[in-house]
Amino acid sequence: MIKFNLIAAIVAILLAVATGSYWLGSHRGQDAVFRIQDSGKSETVNQKPQTESRKLLYYRNPMGLLDTSPVPKKDSMGMEYVAVYDRDAPAEDGAVSISVAKVQKLGVQSEAAALRNLNKLIQVTGRIEVDERRIYAISPKFEGWVEKLYVNSTGEAVSRGQALFDVYSPELISAQREYEIAAQAEKSLANTDPDSKAGMKQLADASLARLANWDITPAELKQLMSGKARRKLTYYAPVSGIVLEKKAVQGARFMPGETLYQIADLSQVWVLADVNEQDIAQIKVGSKVRINITAYPDKNFVGKIAFIYPTLNAASRTVQVRMELANPQGQFMPAMFVSVTLPTGEGGKVLSVPASAVIDSGTRQIVLVQQAVGRFAPRTVRVGQRGVDFVEILDGVREGEQVVTSALFLIDAESNLKAALNGLGTPAAVHAASAKVKAIVHQATGVLNSINADGTVSITHDAIKTLGWPAMTMEFALANSQLSYGIKPGTAISFELVERAPDEWVITKLLARHEMH
């Protein structure tokens, strides 16, 4: 009897355990209640399934090829593209994540890489020259002497028809006398036979033609035909302009063909400029150009490309381009230096990004790609032609990707800080690295001396206290070639610089001092 009761008790216990296990298992699936033992303490945690809303970024190629799509699609084999969400996007080397609040505080702006016409402009220097087609030489065709000068200095302005000088020539007097005799003989033979009269008329016409060939004015010829011969002859200015050369000296003898005066009409002048060989194919005759002259810094003048010379300067690898510039007020003087902005012919659309998006370290070009809100990754790109506002991208960025156009160096400094922290272990080292990155931007003032052909600038800067530098003249690289656009040598400037590498200083911001007011 006792043995039977023991067996019944064991069976009851097993049934109770089974029932409890079933009840516990069913409730664990609903509430997932469990206990965690930690240092002798127990804590009950309720863990329920959570659904997180994720932002769809794009669809990627299922075979891992470098191809994405903003909408669902299939590849050539019929395989569906894989959706990529913001938390699934692969992290690129050097990528950095910044909070949305900090992104807004930094003023980060971005723009998509897209196909655009670059509207490239070519900046060259040139000089003003006299229009060769408007130069006139005064060269008598007979021998004689200069009796009197009316214009007696080089550079003097003359008007068309203004008297220049008087000459005396025995040849001129002899030719006049021959014409008078022939004309009188023609009148005396008026009632004789026609042959004699015609012969005398031919002699008179030949004498008159000889005088006309000596550039004697019609008024002078008319006076000679009236029988009033003159001992001297006056030469007049054939055009209004400037006396470029004066060899006539009062009382001096001159020979046939000798140039006594050279007069230039400056109502229109030439601008000659040397254009690099690689740019010459993009320049078209007839295009309008913008001309800036140092003497008139607040004005822009418009000229026109008239001729592209067919020869190349082998030493400088440049081609000379000639432009025409109207000069009705005579303010443009030969030999003045000018700055010319040449438009290029319109080409096809190319993949491009804003010029402000490209960081040029001197050895490579980098853009920051915005992968998601607050996530940025640096990309090394290969750039092509440069326009006024945009730069062609040959490799490194795909169409439609967002690139950062402002706060570039602030994000780049954040990226450098992250790399430094990953490579350091101690809190002191982390703090030192953080302080170093925060002190990377230095403020300075000075004067822009020149913009060099290699893209660097020469600056005479004031003392920079944060670096312990005294005032001196140095050359700096520009993070972006557009930083110096519109700033002329000799301008007082304010700039920021960073140390991109040991002893490698790069200007990240450059402003004329008057632009800061």
- Bridge pairing between strands 144-149 and 163-168: antiparallel
Using alpha carbons, select from 334, 374, 337, 381 the residue that is nearest to residue 359: 381
Burial status of residue 159 (CB atoms within 10 A of its CB: 0-12, 13-18, 19 or more): exposed
- Break the chain down into helix, strand, coil percent, rounded to 5: 25, 40, 35
The pair of three-digit structure tokens given for residue 117, joined into one six-digit string: 């016409």
Q: Which CATH architecture has domain 96-119+348-431?
A: Beta Barrel (2.40)
CB 127 within 8 A of CB 271: yes
Query: Left if phi > 0, otherwise alpha if psi is -120 to 50, otherwise beta: which for 431?
Result: alpha
Q: What is the pLDDT of residue 216?
A: 75
CA distance 177 to 314: 60
The pair of three-digit structure tokens given for residue 306, joined into one six-digit string: 């008239």
The domains of the chain are located at 1-32, 60-85, 96-119+348-431, 123-131+266-343, 140-253, 441-516
CA distance 250 to 166: 9
Tell me the chain's radius of gyration from C-alpha atoms. 44
CB 403 within 8 A of CB 357: yes
CA distance 397 to 418: 23
pLDDT per position in the chain (517 positions), as tens?
444 454 555 545 555 545 555 444 444 444 433 333 343 443 443 444 444 456 676 777 665 555 677 788 887 777 787 777 655 555 555 567 776 677 776 677 888 999 887 777 788 999 999 999 999 999 998 899 999 999 999 999 999 999 999 999 888 878 777 877 777 777 777 677 777 777 777 887 787 778 777 877 777 777 766 656 667 888 899 999 999 999 999 999 999 999 999 999 999 999 999 999 988 888 889 999 999 998 898 899 999 999 999 999 999 999 999 999 999 988 999 999 999 998 876 567 889 999 888 888 777 888 888 887 778 888 889 988 777 788 889 998 999 999 988 765 555 555 554 444 344 344 444 444 444 444 468 899 999 998 887 778 899 999 988 888 889 899 888 887 778 888 888 999 999 988 877 777 888 888 888 754 4
Q: What is the pLDDT of residue 229?
A: 61
CA 117 to chain centre: 15
Q: What is the pLDDT of residue 364?
A: 83
Q: Determine whether domain 123-131+266-343 maps to CATH 3.40.50.2300.
A: no
Q: What is the pLDDT of residue 139?
A: 92
Using alpha carbons, select from 352, 413, 429 the residue that is nearest to residue 385: 352
CA distance 210 to 330: 38
The pair of three-digit structure tokens given for residue 68, joined into one six-digit string: 């994405």
The pair of three-digit structure tokens given for residue 137, joined into one six-digit string: 């030489």
Q: What is the pLDDT of residue 411?
A: 56
The pair of three-digit structure tokens given for residue 72, joined into one six-digit string: 């669902």
Q: What is the pLDDT of residue 151?
A: 94
| 441-516 has the same fold as 123-131+266-343 | no
CATH classification code of 441-516: 2.40.50.320
Q: What is the pLDDT of residue 9?
A: 52
- Report long-range pairs for 448-453 (Cβ below 8 Å, ≥24 apart): 448/484, 448/487, 448/488, 448/489, 448/490, 448/491, 448/493, 448/510, 449/473, 449/489, 449/490, 450/489, 451/484, 451/489
CB 479 within 8 A of CB 506: yes
CB 139 within 8 A of CB 255: no
CA distance 258 to 140: 7
Q: What is the pLDDT of residue 213?
A: 79
The pair of three-digit structure tokens given for residue 265, joined into one six-digit string: 């009409």
Q: What angle separates helix 194-213 from helix 170-188, to the nearest 10 degrees? A: 160
